[in-house]
Structure 1
């Protein structure tokens, strides 16, 4: 969820940056519109100035001055192009001279009507000459002032155009540079493999745009020189300039389209990151399941340890029983040794019993062989027990290793959780930055509203100026009859132009303030972009950590599978141990029964032998008393004893063999006993093993 919120915040940041760029472009369009309006206003003012000069010349022509005066006024008409900015002193002097000319005309009219004397006419003529001289001086002074105002206007116009050109070029280059850096940064983060291709293409496009802009700037410079030569061509050049601005806008739109394409690629990368985050969530769930399975494995391992302890106790019990059997065999051996010693002491007296003793020795050898086979089986059982103990120790060591690996995996999961908390903290910081960005956005919207208000105010003032110009036109029509009113209107228009210039300067100051604020916002935008880049790098790092965690989880899964396989093998081994334990129990039971039966048979035989010996001694005593030879009759009971013993042994062997053959799993254990008793060859042993 944290990764999703971070991606949504990054997308929102990018949307806000795009909106800021669009608002910046709209502001530039507004500034360009203001400049175009100013140019159009200057053009309308020049047209109105021409109309005023034409009307003034018509009024002067209607005044009926003399030819010299009309010629001088005509030359004045050709020179009065910047009458709006003439100084008040020249205007006052013109008004004074015009009043004097009217007085002179009235005086001439009076002279003609009253037909005064020639001296008065000469005086009036001299006054007229002085007036003409003063008018010439005034016209020269007025021409000089007009020339100065014209040069001043031209220089101001050049400076404004140069400033606008520099401002537009720097702004356009800055926008292009920002777009270039933004596209390159996004390109490096999202499509690293296509970096060189897109950067070269982007640089080529920028170079072409730069060449186009330089060519357009050269055209603008040429047009500017043409404007300086002819003011009437300024309007046409502004139209061309507008077309060029439209073309530049189209190029900016194409760059914005490319930027949108890059953003779509960034969205695709974000979708991929989202999928990886989903995989990380599944991996976390798998970790939880593995933890649960690990707890189950621990429970099972405890159960196995308990089972092994039980088997160990049973093995100890079997060993104890085996020790008891060995003790019983030792007692039997001691009894046999006592019997042999008694036989050695009685050899001289009971030679007739040597055959029985030899038979007993054969039986003892057989019993020793059986004991040897039992001991060999016990050694086999000891080896199997040792192998089981080793397997148990090995399994315990493996369990400890798996426990250590599980603890390391838990540590890794805790470190990953710590990193996730760290990334969540960074996302909280980004949210705080986003709130700050929203505040900046509100400031930008306020600036937009202020610009809209300025635009509305400008339109209102423009309408007001239009109405005032209409009023001025109506007033100029009335000025044909009265030149003084026309001059007063000219002064009012000059004041209006001054006020307009002041307002223009105020608007420029506002624009400078707004541009500074926008520069500050752009700096904040760059800082946010850097922060976004850092966040994307952190996301890539977290994705790498997540991939590493997934690899570790895969390894853990493999280890868990190996543990399960080992568990299955251990279960099988435990099953086999249980079966072997049952076999051992049955063998131990049969051995105990066999030992008991053998001990009973030996005791019975020893008692019979003692009774026979006593009977023989009694018979010998009786024979010695009667002095009759009775030796051939003494060995008669020995064959009976032998046949009885053979019958007992055969019956016992038959029962044991039948018990082993009835149970199919115990048939294989009967093979070594049969091989020892019947002395089978290796081929016969293989046949028996194949049948078992």
Structure 2
């Protein structure tokens, strides 16, 4: 019975093994060993797969850290570029302010130059008026001197003619007077013509000068107005363009700031998710370690079970041998031994079945947990792959944004260069305006030089006028002295000597001639009447005669002029004067 029970238990164990394992009987120890080795290999493969997945997770974490660092660096570079662009915009605004200040300064300088030009124009008008007055005075003085000289020349000629042709003068006195009148009228007409020609020439020069000044002034005003209008238009266009560009840039900067904020929020969310997944991964790793420890314990229990089965087989073999040896003994002992062996082996088989059921249940639970955890890990890996793909897409989008920002920066740099070129053009225009101002200043200097030249001419004319007045005064004094000396000599002359002895009747004619010459000069003084005045004039005339004779003897080059003076003083005849002039 016990043997049959053992056989039934063995059959039940074989069925359990065949149901739970690919083995058929419990006696297939090598197959059972291979099966357990396969289970161990599967466990090792699962561990290797778990290690590979953990390596992938670490690599994904490293890539995420690299992406995070790249994103941080790109955001930093973008913020630096935005700061640079703001600095460039501030520099452009400062340059625009400097251009506006220079424009205001140029307007102030142009207003100052206009005030100086108006002041110089007023001074020029004043100097023109003064020059006109001085010119009129000079013309009057010259005409007066010419009339005096002409009168003196005529008086000398008439005196020479009267001395040479006293007899013919009486008969032709009226004709000569008429000729003298006609000559005077002709000379006066010539003087008037010369004065008119000079006045017309002066007026023409003055009109030309006024026209040139007016043309230069109008041209300068037109150029200043055109430059001012162009500069104002350029400033207005630059202001409008600058305001538009500032608005576009501020909107672009606000958009970039919002995008940076959204990206930073998404980055923080991804970082939080990664930390949660890392915590879950660490918990799964700890659970895997616990499962590995459980599998190790199960393997140890399986080894113990196999050892026990081997021991039971040995004992069964020994018992069979003992039974075969003891069959020859009493049947009661055999049955007793069989019952004892059956009871013993039934207890062991029950323990083994219980342990096998426990091990199978634990194995099923471990496999179910492993399958669940593997499915969870695969899901987590898929989610991480999706996150990595999304992060790569976001990185690509960020790269595209960076490229667009770089293009925007290049465009802004080009616009800044265009603004700088416009500022350079404005500087060139200001230089041109400065050159125009220098040209205007040079013209003003030329006008000043012309004014100084006119002033010098006026001063020269004044000096000439003073010289002519002094010369006229000396001529008047000499003529007065000559008349007084002639009158004195006429009174002191012996009537019976010389030229007047043969012609006693010529003295009243000479007196009439002297009176006519005094009438022609109009500026000569009358003869002295009192004896004291006669004596003083006589002393002066003797002194003058002495000086003339000394100069005649000392200076040979002055003798022709002094001969005429001596002939006038001593009243030589024309033949005597001609003879003395020929010898001088």
Structure 1 alignment gaps of length 5 or more: 1-59, 85-149, 154-230, 329-349, 596-629, 652-676, 678-692
Give the corresponding residue for 1:352: 170
Deviation of 1:565 (Å): 1.5
Question: C-alpha separation between the residues in 2 aligned to 1:485 and 1:641?
Answer: 176
Question: C-alpha separation between the residues in 2 aligned to 1:323 and 1:649?
Answer: 19
Tell me, yes or no, if structure 1 residue 428 matches structure 2 residue 230.
Answer: no
The residue correspondences of 1:488-637 to structure 2 (distance < 5 A) are 488-580=365-457, 635-637=509-511
CA gap 1:278/1:429 in 2 versus in 1, 3 angstroms: closer
Name the SS for the 2:509 alignment partner.
Answer: coil
CA gap 1:82/1:401 in 2 versus in 1, 3 angstroms: farther
| Stretch deviating more after TM superposition (635-644 or 457-466) | 635-644
The residue correspondences of 1:86-101 to structure 2 (distance < 5 A) are none
> Alpha-carbon deviations, 1:516-540, whole Å to 9, x = none?
4444444444433332222221111
Give the corresponding residue for 1:286: 102
Give the corresponding residue for 1:301: 117
Tell me, yes or no, if structure 1 residue 68 matches structure 2 residue 9.
Answer: no
The residue correspondences of 1:369-408 to structure 2 (distance < 5 A) are 372=190, 376=194, 379-380=197-198, 382-408=200-226
Question: C-alpha separation between the residues in 2 aligned to 1:81 and 1:360?
Answer: 166
Deviation of 1:471 (Å): 2.3
Question: C-alpha separation between the residues in 2 aligned to 1:593 and 1:279?
Answer: 69
Structure 2 alignment gaps of length 5 or more: 1-19, 145-167, 302-354, 473-503, 526-560, 562-584
> Alpha-carbon deviations, 1:63-103, whole Å to 9, x = none?
9974525325505734875579xxxxxxxxxxxxxxxxxxx
Question: C-alpha separation between the residues in 1 aligned to 2:212 and 2:197?
Answer: 22
Tell me, yes or no, if structure 1 residue 456 matches structure 2 residue 275.
Answer: yes
Deviation of 1:425 (Å): 2.1
Tell me, yes or no, if structure 1 residue 77 matches structure 2 residue 37.
Answer: yes
Question: C-alpha separation between the residues in 2 aligned to 1:588 and 1:498?
Answer: 130
Question: C-alpha separation between the residues in 2 aligned to 1:542 and 1:79?
Answer: 79
Question: C-alpha separation between the residues in 1 aligned to 2:195 and 2:279?
Answer: 120
> Alpha-carbon deviations, 1:243-294, whole Å to 9, x = none?
xx99xx8xx99xx99x99xx99x97x99999888866655543332221111
CA gap 1:275/1:450 in 2 versus in 1, 3 angstroms: closer
Deviation of 1:403 (Å): 1.7
Tell me, yes or no, if structure 1 residue 467 matches structure 2 residue 294.
Answer: no
Deviation of 1:465 (Å): 1.4
Name the SS for the 1:419 alignment partner.
Answer: helix
In our comparison, the structure showing a higher alpha carbon Rg is 2
Deviation of 1:314 (Å): 6.4
Equivalent pair of 2:134/2:458 in contact (CA under 8 Å): no
Question: C-alpha separation between the residues in 2 aligned to 1:305 and 1:457?
Answer: 92
Question: C-alpha separation between the residues in 1 aligned to 2:189 and 2:523?
Answer: 15
Match of 1:409 among 215, 227, 230: 227
CA gap 1:650/1:641 in 2 versus in 1, 3 angstroms: closer
TM-score (norm 2): 0.52
Equivalent pair of 1:447/1:514 in contact (CA under 8 Å): no
Question: C-alpha separation between the residues in 2 aligned to 1:494 and 1:285?
Answer: 82
Name the SS for the 1:635 alignment partner.
Answer: helix
Equivalent pair of 2:291/2:366 in contact (CA under 8 Å): yes
Give the corresponding residue for 1:441: 260
Equivalent pair of 1:280/1:550 in contact (CA under 8 Å): no
Question: C-alpha separation between the residues in 1 aligned to 2:189 and 2:253?
Answer: 92
CA gap 1:465/1:273 in 2 versus in 1, 3 angstroms: closer
Question: C-alpha separation between the residues in 2 aligned to 1:548 and 1:270?
Answer: 24
CA gap 1:508/1:275 in 2 versus in 1, 3 angstroms: closer
Question: C-alpha separation between the residues in 2 aligned to 1:277 and 1:432?
Answer: 18
